[in-house]
Structure 1
Amino acid sequence: MTLQDHVFRALADPTRRSILLMLADGDRTVGEVASRFDMTRPAVAKHLKVLGDGGLVTVEARGRERINRLNPEPLAQVAQWVARFEVFWDARLAALKTEVETKDD
């Protein structure tokens, strides 16, 4: 599995997307992340591992705590990949606009 595959796998889950939004507001421990969800701490740790596998989260050990931090770089790669399809949508929307505008004629 490529790194890009790991990123898309990580983003596929709504809980993991929520965790990313939380980490965008600041670094959090596993306990802090878990306190926001109705799931066990080990379940949250598994989600954080998947995010880490995708390079979206980095972990820093501070004593006994593990601080999770958002790494936005892989999201830029996703944005570049998605941008490839803008041409498709631009052409489709332009055709739709033309169709709608000529229907009245």
Structure 2
Amino acid sequence: MASTETVKVKVEFGGGTELLLAPPQDKRHSLTLPRKDAAGTETNVTFLIEYIRKNLITEREELFVDGDSVRPGILVLINNSDWELEGEGDYVLQDGDEVVFISTLHGG
């Protein structure tokens, strides 16, 4: 039985975003996050992005985050749906959600 004080989500990185993570640069992560932040707000994708910035990215965070969101050129999918259809950073995370970050920017 899941705790009501935490939310468990799966996060996946692709298109080069995994290269920003700490070794071994796993593409898939299972995260257990608090159900609410310090202010009592339910944990949303904006919270998740900040968590990733602080806990998973080791260098060049500016290639992933822009303010409190992802930088342009990173596609975010929530349960296989574009996050723009789900409310973007305001989407409240639920147990079992899958969030995927894919860079659409490529060098040449």
Is TM > 0.5 for Structure 1 vs Structure 2?
no
More strand by share: 2
Structure 1 or 2, whichever has the larger Rg, is 1
More helix by share: 1
Greater relative contact order: 1 or 2 (C-alpha under 8 angstroms, separation 6 or more)?
Answer: 2
